[in-house]
Amino acid sequence: MLTFLGDGLAQTCNGVNRRDFLQVGTLGAIGFGLPEYLAAAESHKVDPTKSNRSAIMIFNLGAPSQLDTFDMKPDAPLEVRGPFSPIPTNAPGMMLSEILPKHAQIADKISLVRSCFHRGAAVHDAGWQIMQTGRQFQGGVNTPHAGSVAGYMLGRKSDLPPHVVLPETMGRGGGNLPNGQAGGFLGKAHDPFALMADPSQPNFKVPDLLPPESLGSVRIDRRRRMRELVDQSVAKFESSESAKMMDEHFASAYRLMTSTQARDAFDLSAEPQAVRERYGMNRFGQCCLLARRLVEAGVRFVTINTFLTVFDEITWDIHGSKPFTSIEGMKNIVAPMYDQGYSALIEDLAQRGMLGDTLVCNLAEFGRTPKVNPAGGRDHWPGCFTVGFAGGGVQGGRVVGASDPIGAVPADRPTEPPEVIATIFHALGLSLDQHLPGPAGRPFPLVDIGFREIQELF
């Protein structure tokens, strides 16, 4: 947690606790003030016509059943097609499930890729990793999240962090693997900022961004001046790399915590109640609204976790029996919440003229088994599933690729995770032929060799 009042953690050579005046807890993990953020656009290949682009990644943790949502098979046997019926949408030829009626009303603004698959294990966190980074976790190499790469390559646009995760990073997935929501080999400095709060709760505040009420701007400025006096007396310590890093964190933390722009961006109370209710007065709906406000304020990349774990809460993980979700639970709880929040986000972005410069992508770790299991649910299935895109230059109302008659494998235009990540980078204006500073200082391709964006979407 970021606080001005914590105990000092680093000592200068004369014994003074440098952070007696400012403790920066999580800021060390998000790299405020790093030169890569401030000058990245000058050193990387970026399409200048897309310099204002942002992205919102909605990660449908738990994995929706493609057969019950976006890729229905009404002519398949009952044990495959499931209990729901397809409904028409406002996009010619695109049919969606009856449990997503609000999606049907905005289908002309979204496009679906129904032929996504991956070669990773059918384990939640393995899928989280590969779908958010474009690569499997192998040989100890932890590839950075797409949002962390975007922040590194593009830099910040405002006082706010370049990559924010709402409401917090993912929890356990059962496989004891990295979840993909980190800076990876780019370092802790490029981890996303995690909100760590539920924006749907009364009196919602952001504990790690805004200063305590007891510490006003005058006291903050006084502590800054006191710190400068201490710095003048510890020249030896100040020459170290650790001290330089702390200086960068301090400057950016000070700027952020005294920023009206940052304070306003996280202030959901500024939204009309009708707008908040349109999104849904629940965690996911208010995260979608907050994501719109953050993008509006200049955040490059926002990741929304629809859920936090597949344990102890109702999610898309519809195995059919406790402790997991039943198909009825998906119909009555999960789908309505998701349908409302997502459709409100797309409509709001469009009405504000922001959708063209904001890519909204909907991902998941895998799909679900073609056949309903004995418990009435569906199990893990990386063999075929659907991902969605809207805005950011994507043409709406399109369906790319197709699955076979039972939704088990791609039948047309197979699409792998590197292509999904490449599509995000392409929409943000990044040249896909660039390299990142990889492990041991070796150049690391931005996207796996041989993979490009899903061109049919643009």
Is 19 among the domain residues? no
Domain-embedded: residue 9: no
Higher pLDDT, 36 or 445: 445
Whether 220 has a pLDDT exceeding 60, the answer reads no
Number of domains within the chain: 1
Domain presence at residue 229: no
| pLDDT for 41 | 42
pLDDT-derived band at 115, boundaries 50, 70, 90: very high
Residue 272 has pLDDT above 70, yes or no: yes
Q: Is the pLDDT of residue 226 over 50?
A: yes
pLDDT surpassing 90 at residue 174: no
Task: Note whether residue 20 is domain-resident.
Answer: no
Residue range(s) defining the domain that contains residue 79:
43-211+278-457
Predicted pLDDT of residue 82: 96
As a whole number, the mean pLDDT across the chain is 86
pLDDT in tens, 373-425: 999 999 999 999 999 999 999 999 999 999 999 999 999 999 999 999 999 99
Tell which wins on pLDDT, 4 or 224: 224
* pLDDT > 70? residue 257: no
> Is the model's pLDDT at 15 over the cut of 60?
no
Q: What is the pLDDT of residue 32?
A: 36
pLDDT digits (tens, 9 = 90+) for 282-311: 999 999 999 999 999 999 999 999 999 999
Q: Is residue 15 part of a domain?
A: no
Q: How confident is the model at residue 27 (pLDDT cuts 50, 70, 90)?
A: very low
Q: Does the residue 28 lie in any domain?
A: no
When pLDDT is cut at 50, 70 and 90, the band that residue 50 belongs to is very high
CATH number at residue 162: 3.40.720.10
pLDDT at position 139: 87
Lowest mean pLDDT among 38-47, 152-161, 376-385: 38-47
Tell me the percentage of the chain whose pLDDT exceeds 70: 79
**222 lies in a domain?**
no
Q: Is residue 3 part of a domain?
A: no
Predicted pLDDT of residue 223: 53
Q: What is the mean pLDDT of residues 103-118?
A: 98
Q: What is the 3-state secondary structure (H, E, C) of the chain?
A: CEECCCCCCCECCCCCEHHHCCEECCHHHHCCCCHHHHHHHHHCCECHHHCCCEEEEEECCCCCCHHHCCCCCCCCCHHHHCCCCEEECCCCCCEEECCCHHHHHCHHHEEEEEEECCCCCCCHHHHHHHHHHCCCCECCECCCCHHHHHHHHHCCCCCCCCEEEECCCCCCCCCCCCCCCCCHHHCHHHCCEECCCCCCCCCCCCCCCCCCCCCCHHHHHHHHHHHHHHHHCCHHHHCCHHHHHHHHHHHHHHHHHCCHHHHHHCCHHHCCHHHHHHHCCCHHHHHHHHHHHHHHHCCCEEEEECCCCCCCCCCCCCCCCCCCCCHHHHHHHHHHHHHHHHHHHHHHHHHCCCHHHEEEEEECCCEECCCCCCCCCCCEECCCEEEEEECCCCCCCCEECEECCCCCCEEECCECHHHHHHHHHHHCCECCCCEEECHHHCEEECCCCCCCCCHHHC
